[in-house]
A and B are shown apart, each in its own frame.
Chain A
């Protein structure tokens, strides 16, 4: 659906040059929800503006739906832009028009006649659940309602691609959820490919199939959301993951856990294959080790369970040791020590330095 090849965008601001997007190549597949996450200034907005041809790349090529946009004259870019929906953090509704007038605007640009416009606007407002607000002014709506209007407007010309730049960043958590659900419906029911720009990992976990992590204009990591979560390579990625999951105890928390509990404290990563919470409990029971949950959390990433549990293990020292070894063969385990044992450090199927990055991820 979208193909970026070696795309670079530089801005010259007076004498200084900013490379907002730096040699990015990626493909966004038809029908997927693709996330782009990064901190402020990472180049996310510039990247979507390149996809929508609001900016022209300094180098590289951008193609959307089989059309190479790079190098096209402005006159040919306008219809291309009209074929891509765009929703904004600040909604960007026209205050001089009613809700219906805003949704009709792209249709007017596309040259629709009055009757077809009215029918399409009614259909769209119905889809986003705002049929009763058609005659109101944007200023009379709540943030969530404004964004629904923004989405209806973006969908007016039935685009195959929808770009959402921080579409929920101005909304409270509950409204965010509603808007994300609406975007999911847009994807499922209308088959629209969606690119979601965000700095919130929770948006990615809730909505996206794949994600690209941007840092300093580059895409530093890209893959299935679950894989990225399970196996983050870059420090930025880990920091984002840590914001979405508060499942791993920070070092000061570990210290308090060790003071508070008599047994051995270990953090065990939960995943959907070899280390479901049931499997973990089974292993411990098999070795005759008792466990109590002292910290942790399991959430869903890409509709699969993900997270970690910090357990207090009690039992014969040898049993505890073999139980930990057994768990470490299945999943990532961080041994915080306790019960007279110094910390065994991280261990896991990939060995040290592999995916056993629990303490770092928890930072």
Chain B
């Protein structure tokens, strides 16, 4: 195939990857934040200690997280079809990625909250603040710097996921590299795809570092 034919295809694949990655980051990031906060506050002696909730959430997270992603993508097919109405392509992939990303994010969020000085939470409690206010005005703002770095790390992991998902569900740069590079023994195409991915990751990391530095310089 000529570069004039490949070019638009690469552009389309890039668009699909960005769609999947950004979509996953938004959906999985938000749900993961909620789940992570829930994991944190339900711990013993925490803001809303609840042994049952903590137990269930931990079992859930620990069950899903170790599943190899390539298998997970195929295993969630029934649920994905029910939600997205499709069993193929970027939207289907986004569903599988968002679910996995939610669980991955939750641990990142939980770890960063655990590292917080419990004294600030104590101070807010002593001033009469309720749990919701403490979560939104103390926990998240105080952990914001590390959280941004955590989400940057997550972004890179999601880019990786999107390549895997491309091989199974179709779409994105991963699929492009496999179909037009690997299967046609065209290393130039494979390397070009790799280069595009590297650039995306570098940009994301640079942005994350910048934001985190902004927030942490205080």
Contact = CB atoms under 8 A, between A and B. Distances in A.
B157 interface: no
A82 B138 CA distance: 16
Interface in A91-126: 92-97, 105-106, 108-110
B145 to A, nearest CB: 9
B128 A79 contact: yes
Given A82-B128, A109-B127, A110-B128, A94 B138 contact: yes
Nearest to A75: B130
Interface of B: 117, 119-120, 122-130, 133, 137-138, 141-142, 144, 218
A180 B133 CA distance: 32
Contact of B119 (A54, A90, A97, A153): A90
Contact of B218 (A81, A108, A139): A139
A78 interface: yes
Contacts of A137: 218
A108 B125 CA distance: 13
23 contacts: A54-B125, A80-B128, A81-B125, A81-B128, A82-B127, A88-B119, A90-B117, A92-B122, A92-B123, A93-B123, A94-B138, A95-B120, A95-B218, A96-B141, A96-B142, A96-B218, A97-B141, A109-B127, A109-B128, A109-B129, A109-B133, A110-B128, A153-B127
A193 interface: no
Nearest to B138: A94
9 nearest A-B residue pairs (beta carbon): A82-B128, A96-B141, A92-B123, A86-B126, A92-B119, A106-B127, A78-B128, A137-B218, A81-B128
Contacts of B137: 105, 108
Contacts of B218: 95-96, 137, 139
Contacts of B124: 105, 109
B127 A105 contact: yes
A81 B120 contact: no
A92 B122 CA distance: 8
A81 B126 contact: yes
B142 A54 contact: no
Most chain B CB within a 10 A radius of its CB, from A83, A88, A96, A137: A96
A88 B123 contact: yes
A78 B127 CA distance: 8
- Chain B interface, >50% SS class: helix
A332 to B, nearest CB: 43
Given A88-B119, A92-B119, A94-B138, A78 B130 contact: yes
Interface in A39-92: 52, 54, 78-84, 86, 88, 90, 92
Contacts of A84: 126
Given A81-B127, A105-B124, 8 more contacts: A78-B129, A80-B128, A88-B123, A90-B117, A94-B141, A96-B142, A106-B128, A109-B124
Contact of B122 (A54, A79, A93): A54
A287 B144 CA distance: 77
Contacts of A95: 120, 142, 218
Contacts of B126: 52, 54, 81, 84, 86
A81 B123 CA distance: 11
A84 B123 CA distance: 12
A175 B125 CA distance: 27
B128 A92 contact: no
Nearest to A52: B126
B111 to A, nearest CB: 18
Contacts of B128: 78-83, 106, 109-110
A338 B125 CA distance: 62
Given A78-B128, A95-B218, A109-B128, A86 B123 contact: yes
A93 B141 CA distance: 13
Contacts of B129: 78, 109
Nearest to A98: B218
A92 B125 CA distance: 12
A92 B138 CA distance: 11
Contacts of A52: 126
Nearest to B126: A86
Contacts of B141: 94, 96-97
B122 A88 contact: yes
Nearest to B217: A137
A106 B133 CA distance: 12
A135 to B, nearest CB: 12
Contacts of A93: 120, 123
Nearest to B133: A109
Nearest to B215: A96
